[in-house]
Amino acid sequence: MADIIQLLPDSIANQIAAGEVVQRPASAVKELIENAIDAGATSIKLIIKESGKVLIQVIDNGQGMSETDARMSLERHATSKIRTADDLFRLRTMGFRGEALASIAAVSQMEMKTRLPTEELGTLLLIEGSEVKKQEPVACEKGTSISIKNLFYNIPARRNFLKSNGVEMSHITEEFQRLALAHPSISFALLQSDELLYDLPAGKLSQRIVNLFGKNYQTQLAPIQEETSLLKITGYIGRPDLAKRKRGEQFIFVNQRFIRNNYLAYAVSNAYEGLLQENSFPFYTLFIDIDPKHIDVNVHPTKTEIKFDDERAVYGVVWSAVKQALGSHNLAPAIDFAADVNLMGKLNSQPLSREQYYDEQFSNSLQRSNLQNWEKMFEQEAPSSRLFDKKIVEPNTTLRFESAMNQKETPIGENNEKGIFQFQQRYIVRAARSGVIFIDQQAAHERILFERYLLHLKGVPGNSQQSLFPQTLVLSAPDFALTLEMEKEIYALGFRFEVFGKNTLLVSGTPTEIAGSEKELFEGLIEQFKKNQSVLQLPLRENLALALAKRASIKAGQKLSLEEMESLASRLFSCPNPNYSPEGNQTFFIFDSSKIDTHFTR
C-alpha cells in the first residue's frame, strides 16, 4: 500500500494558520500594531480604506529590520522573542508566536518597507499569497511600514464571510482603542479613507482616556491603586451614577495586554453591588501587573484569553481594590488631569473615610435597595396576594381581604366576560374554549413589535414622534461608524437624527408608541444590535427589528390595564407566527380544561 501521509506545502500551512490568527481585518490590525509596539515605536499611524478590505497600513518609527530579518519575518514560527521553552513563561512582549506576518502574507498582497536607524537605505518586499514577488533596496523613513492590500483576495469564500463596512470598522476601532489605552506613552493616529478619526498624543493614561472617549470623562473617573505580593493594580474606575446602559467601555489589561475574563469582570461588577441601577455598566480601565510565571498567555491564537495559576487570589485583589477606591475617593469633583495619577491621594488633604463616603454618596441607593428587599420578603410570605393589587395598610385601620362582598359592583363588560387578568405582573390569563390561556407579556410583545418593525424595514417606514428638545448623543467611534452604516434602516424604524460633530448625533425623533428618552432608546438600539450580532447570525434588517423589539417591549413586572391586556392578546394572535418570540421562546400555552378536571372529584 502506498504512503498517504505527506507534509503540507508552506503556502497551504500558512493559510491554515491564517484562519486562526487573521479572522477579520481587525485581527491583522492588532498583529501589526503589536509588532510596532515591540519594535520600540514612539509613534504609530494606522491607515484604513474600505474598513480594511482594500487597505490596512501601519507605519511606525521603531527600530526597523535588516534585509535578512525582513525576509525571515515572513517565515512561520520566526520570532525574535523566544529562544527556549522557558521563555514562554517570561513573556512581556506582545507578538511572540512568529505566525502573524506569515499568516497575513498568505492571504493578502503585502508591501513591506523597513530601515534600521544606522542604514541609509532600507528594504522593500512585495509578497502575494506567501510568494515573494520583489525584494530590493529602497529609500524610506526609519522604522517599518507594512501595507496589507485586498485581504483574503485568494480565498473568496472567506472574504464573503466578512461583515458590512460599518461592522468591520467597528471591530478595527475597538482593537485600536485597546492598544492605545494600553500604551499611553506612544502617540497613535487612525485615518479612515483620508479622514482623521483619532490623533492621540503621548501622555498619561487619564489624558488618553479623555482623548479616546470624550471630555465628559474628566468628571467621572477615580484612580485605583493596589499592590500585593502577588500583583499590582492601577487604573481608573467610573462613578456609579454615570454608568451607561451598554457594555463596551470596560477594559482589563494584564501586563499591558488586553484580556477577556468573565471571572475578573464579575469581581468588578460585584464590587459595585448596590450602587448601580439595573442593567447599567460602569466604566473601568484596570491594569494588572503580575509576574509572567503566574499566567499562561499561550492559550488562544488571539492571545486575549489567559490562565492564572491562582485565579481566586487575583479575583480577591481586584474586588478589594475596586471596593476601596469606591469608598476612599470622592467621585463628584472633576479630576485634575494635569496631575499625576499616583498623586491623587496626596492632593486630597482630608479624604473622606469609607464609612462617610458611603453614607453621603450612596445612602439613597441603599435605602431603595433595602425597601425593595422588605417588599420582596412580604411578597414571599403571602404569595397568594400577588393575584390582587397591593394595598397600603395604615395603623388603626381594619384589614379586609378581597372578596366579592367587599368589591364595588362593576358593570359587566366585554373584558369581564372573557375573564382576562394579569398574574404576577408577568402573565396575561384569559379564558378560552378549551381551557385557560397563559400569555407571557414580554415574549408576546416582542413578537408583535418584531413583525411591525420588520414591516417598516421592508418598505413601509414607521412614523416618528418629534422631540421638543432634541438630544445630543456622543457615541464611541465604532458605534458612530456602525450607526452611519445603518442610517437608512434606522430612519425607516422611525428614528430621526443628524450628524452633529465628531462621533456626535443630534437625535430629534423616535418611533411612535415608544416611551423613554431619545438618548436611552438610541443607545439601547445600538447596544442590543451588537449583542444580537455576537450570539445570532441574522440579516441586518432582522437584527435591527429584534434589537428594537427587545428594547421597546413590555417587561415582566409591568402592570397592565384591562384594555392593554386585551389589546396585547388580540394583536399577538393576529401575527403570522404568534407561538414564539423572535428568539424562539414560547409566547403562550393553553392549560386544557380536561387537565383541570383531573384535580377535582365529582
| Residues 21, 125 within the same domain | yes
According to DSSP, the β-strands at 421-423 and 427-432 are antiparallel
Give the chain's count of helices (H) and strands (E). 19, 22
Partnered with residue 496 across adjacent β-strands are: 509
| Residues 30, 82 within the same domain | yes
| Residues 198, 266 within the same domain | no
- Across 115-125, b (16+ Cβ under 10 Å) vs e yields bbeeeeebbbb
The answer to whether 166 and 485 are in contact (CB under 8 A) is yes
pLDDT tens-digit readout, 305-346: 788 888 899 999 999 999 888 887 654 333 444 444 443 333
pLDDT tens-digit readout, 511-540: 887 877 788 888 888 888 888 877 777 788
Residue 361 in any domain: the answer is no
Residue 366 in any domain: the answer is no
Residue 5 in any domain: the answer is no
| Residues 44, 91 within the same domain | yes
Residue 14: pLDDT band with limits 50, 70, 90: low
Mean pLDDT of 229-239: 92
H or E segment and range at residue 104? helix 100-106
For the entire predicted model, the pTM comes to 0.65
The most confident of the ranges 171-180, 402-411, 565-574 is 171-180
Mean pLDDT of 240-257: 84
Mean pLDDT of 123-127: 95
Q: Is the pLDDT of residue 418 over 80?
A: no
**What's the CATH code of the domain at 508?**
3.30.1540.20
Residue 369 in any domain: the answer is no
Q: Pick from 321, 355, 389: which residue ends a domain?
A: 355
| Residues 195, 279 within the same domain | no
| Residues 168, 258 within the same domain | no
Number of domains in the chain: 3
| Residues 94, 183 within the same domain | yes
**Residue 222: CB atoms within 10 Å:** 18
pLDDT tens-digit readout, 431-447: 877 788 899 999 999 99
User: Exposed (0-12), middle (13-18) or buried (19+): which is 582, by Cβ within 10 Å?
Assistant: buried
| Residues 329, 438 within the same domain | no
Q: Is the pLDDT of residue 358 over 90?
A: no
Q: For residue 451, give its domain range.
A: 412-602
Query: What is the pLDDT of the chain when averaged over all its residues?
Result: 78
The answer to whether 55 and 49 are in contact (CB under 8 A) is yes
Residue 400 in any domain: the answer is no
Q: Pick from 340, 355, 370: which residue ends a domain?
A: 355
**What's the CATH code of the domain at 230?**
3.30.230.10
| Residues 161, 220 within the same domain | no
At 535 the pLDDT is: 74
pLDDT tens-digit readout, 201-219: 999 999 999 999 888 788 7
| Residues 220, 347 within the same domain | yes
H or E segment and range at residue 549? helix 540-552
**What's the CATH code of the domain at 85?**
3.30.565.10
At 59 the pLDDT is: 96
Please give the Cα distance from 521 to 542 (Å, whole number).
Answer: 18
User: Exposed (0-12), middle (13-18) or buried (19+): which is 72, by Cβ within 10 Å?
Assistant: middle
Residue 74: pLDDT band with limits 50, 70, 90: confident
The more confidently predicted of residues 497 and 328 is 497
